[in-house]
Amino acid sequence: MWKRRALGWLLICITGLTLLLVRLIQIQLMETETFSKHNINLLEESVKQRTQELVIDNGRGNFLDRNGVMLTHKKVSVLVLFPFLKKIDWDAKKVSEITGVPENILKMAVEGAKKPFAYGDPQPVELTTAQMEQINQLNIPGVFAIEKKFERSQIPAEQLIGLTGENPEEVKKRYPDKELSEKTLLGVSGLEESFDEFLLPEGKSKLVYHVDGSGGPLFGINVKYVDPANPFYPVNVRTTLDKNIQQKAEELVDKHQIKKGGLVLINIEDNSILAMVSRPAVNKKDPYGTAGITNKMLKQQIMGSVFKTVVAAAAIDHNLDTPMRQFDCSKKINGKPEVKYNYGMLDFSNSFARSCNRTFGELAKELQKKDPFSLEDYAEKLSLTSLVGWQGDVYHTSDFKQLPDEDNGRVFVSDEARKDANMAAMSGIGQNEVRATPLAVANMMATIARGGKKKMVRAVSKIEYKNGTTMVDFPVKELKGETISPYTSMRLQKLLREVVTNPNGTGRWFKDLPYEVAGKSGTAETGKYVNGKQLHNKWFAGYFPYKTPKYALVAVNLDVADYEGGVNLLFADMVQMLYENDHE
């Protein structure tokens, strides 16, 4: 009897030990970096228990402007102090003499520290190269001068570049085959999201020292530098932005009190974004819960009279623009007397310069009779209704989009509206169902300036490895589909210039600028009201210099009252700023 019991207990003990051994093997050998459903890295956690560290670089890829300047972060030469200094006699006086920080302040900072820190963080004292060399030559344990990566307090083009955040569930969903920490930063909007796979960290760069239970140094006072030791990572995403121009553009948008709207500036030669500003800005206290995260420049908006550029192109090709033809601009589209904008009889060119609604309502109806799809065809030829952001095959990713949040534009929503003459007339002046993104409008202006050549708009030119070699190149690419002819482009160029040179043109405010401007204004009724007053979208879209086009610019102010919120001064200040920037 007792033998059976003994044998039973022996089997239970063996089974228990076997299970413990299996569990130990699982923990120690098999799931050391992805333990449990939370993918906990046991190696990292065990190291954390016996070490203290200062992260120098989180390992995520960086965004650069077109000149190689860091956009979201900056590298600062800082003084790093370790808390074990409070337990040893160190020469704070010499460090003070080199840095200019009072000796007692340095000692107080160390006394209050529980982990390594960059002195002055979050606004660290920046050291010169000479100061760094002098501090490191002191060879004081726990005192270092290093270059550390800090996030900028103000990130330029924040909606375009996007935000990052921690989301354990999204890490698993997005990268099921990769062994990533739950705390891995992921891109949640903008370029951070679209380029996320390239930006994932290979590991952190950090200073580490081992501690005992009381926080004292365990193996003397040696501090180790830990680095992923990969010469290729983290990568750098080289955007097409110009940081200097971007910052000045943001200052001007805020100076002119654009609460909702912004601007898009395109370099016509390579069709890339030099600056993009969207308001409202991102709320730092609640970045993900506000409208500020949305990039208004990539969202379709009611565009008003800017759309007359499309109608003009179609009218030119269908010979509806004969010089002798006169339009009665003393009347509205519906035939009622025009009280506010009574221009009398105008020809085609003057109608465009003065933005006569009657002219373009009639032309839109005539075009609709010829072909119900005419307005949509020409909107597509001028890249207003298609996606214009760069897309193509990249590595194993087919149809990669740099700007995945970009909206399509539109002219009509239904076939019924497309065949209705009155709907066509309202569409001819950019009302009714007509929508386009500010980015697409800027690209339309660039297309016209280039003589009808349609190109994709780039926000990123290439991805570079850490050592500077190219990982992925995003070449200038043409947009597929039909485009307008060089002759039609030439005619549109002249019409857009007359908007500025005509004494009564809607862009006459720009005639004395240092760069010759060509463009089109737009004021669209939104159908929204505040205190019984109709709200409008106000636009000016154009390019310059007229004879040697370099820039395409769109400025837009959304949902503002008729008597306020103009964009002419913003557009003019941008032209002036770019001229001065080019001639410094």
Higher confidence at residue 434 or residue 144? Answer: 434
DSSP 28-77: IIISSSSBTTTTB-HHHHHHHHHEEEEEEE----EEE-TTS-BSSEEEEE
Is residue 453 domain-resident? Answer: yes
**Do 134 and 161 belong together in one domain?**
no
Task: Say whether both 258 and 390 belong to one domain.
Answer: yes
Indicate the residue among 108, 134, 150 that finishes a domain: 150
Within this chain, do residues 248 and 129 fall inside the same structural domain, yes or no? Answer: no
Query: What's the CATH number where 364 sits?
Result: 3.40.710.10
Q: Rounded distance, CA 140 to CA 92, Å?
A: 9
pLDDT at position 347 is 96
The set of residues, in sequence order, having a beta carbon less than 8 Å from that of 227 and lying 6+ positions away, is 203, 205
303-318: pLDDT as tens digits: 999 999 999 999 999 9
- Cα–Cα dist 312/181, whole Å: 56
The verdict on 136 and 273 lying in the same domain is: no
d(CA 105, CA 522): 59
Quick one: which of 233, 179, 205, 183 has its CA closest to 61? 233
Counting Cα atoms < 13 Å in the Cβ hemisphere of 458 gives: 25
42 in any annotated domain: no
Residue 223 shares a structural domain with residue 193: yes
Higher per-residue confidence, 409 vs 51: 409
The span from the CA of 460 to the CA of 65, in Å, is: 9
Residue whose token pair is 């001065």: 580
Among residues 189, 194, 205, 305, the one annotated as catalytic is 305
Is residue 305 annotated as part of the catalytic site, yes or no?
yes
User: Which of 105, 132, 150 is the last residue before a domain boundary?
Assistant: 150
- The pTM score is 0.87
Task: Answer whether residue 492 is part of any domain.
Answer: yes
Any domain includes 2: no
Q: Does 140 lie in the same domain as 161? A: no
| AA letter at 538 | K
More confident residue, 253 or 564: 253
Q: What angle do CA 109, 114, 117 make, to 5 degrees?
A: 60
> Which of these, 448, 440, 439, lies nearest to 519 by C-alpha position?
448
Pair 310, 174 in one domain: no
Residue 470 maps to a domain: yes
pLDDT beyond 90 at 291: no
Q: How confident is the model at residue 486 (pLDDT cuts 50, 70, 90)?
A: very high
| Interval 111-130 mean pLDDT | 87
Three state DSSP letters for 161-213: HCCEEECHHHHHHHCCCCCCCCCCEEECCHHHHHCHHHHCCCCCEEEEEEECC
The answer to whether position 36 is within a domain reads: no
Residue 241 has pLDDT above 80, yes or no: yes
Which range in 70-79, 92-101, 484-493 is most confidently predicted, on average pLDDT?
A: 484-493
pLDDT at 213: 57
Same domain, 124 and 159: no
The band of 341, judged by pLDDT with boundaries at 50, 70 and 90, is confident
Sole residue written with tokens 């500003």: 277
Give residue 398's pLDDT.
83
Domain that holds residue 136: 76-150
DSSP-assigned states of every residue in 411-471: S-SSHHHHT-HHHHHHHHTT-TT-BB-HHHHHHHHHHHHTTS--BPBBSEEEEE-TTS-EE
Look up the CATH number of the domain holding residue 232: 3.90.1310.10
Could you tell me if residue 393 is inside a domain? yes
Q: What is the biggest distance separating any 2 CA atoms in the chain, rounded to whole angstroms? A: 121
Q: How far apart are CA 364 and CA 374, in angstroms?
A: 9
Q: Reduced to 3 states, what is the DSSP secondary structure of residue 263? A: strand
User: Do 518 and 575 have their domain in common?
Assistant: yes
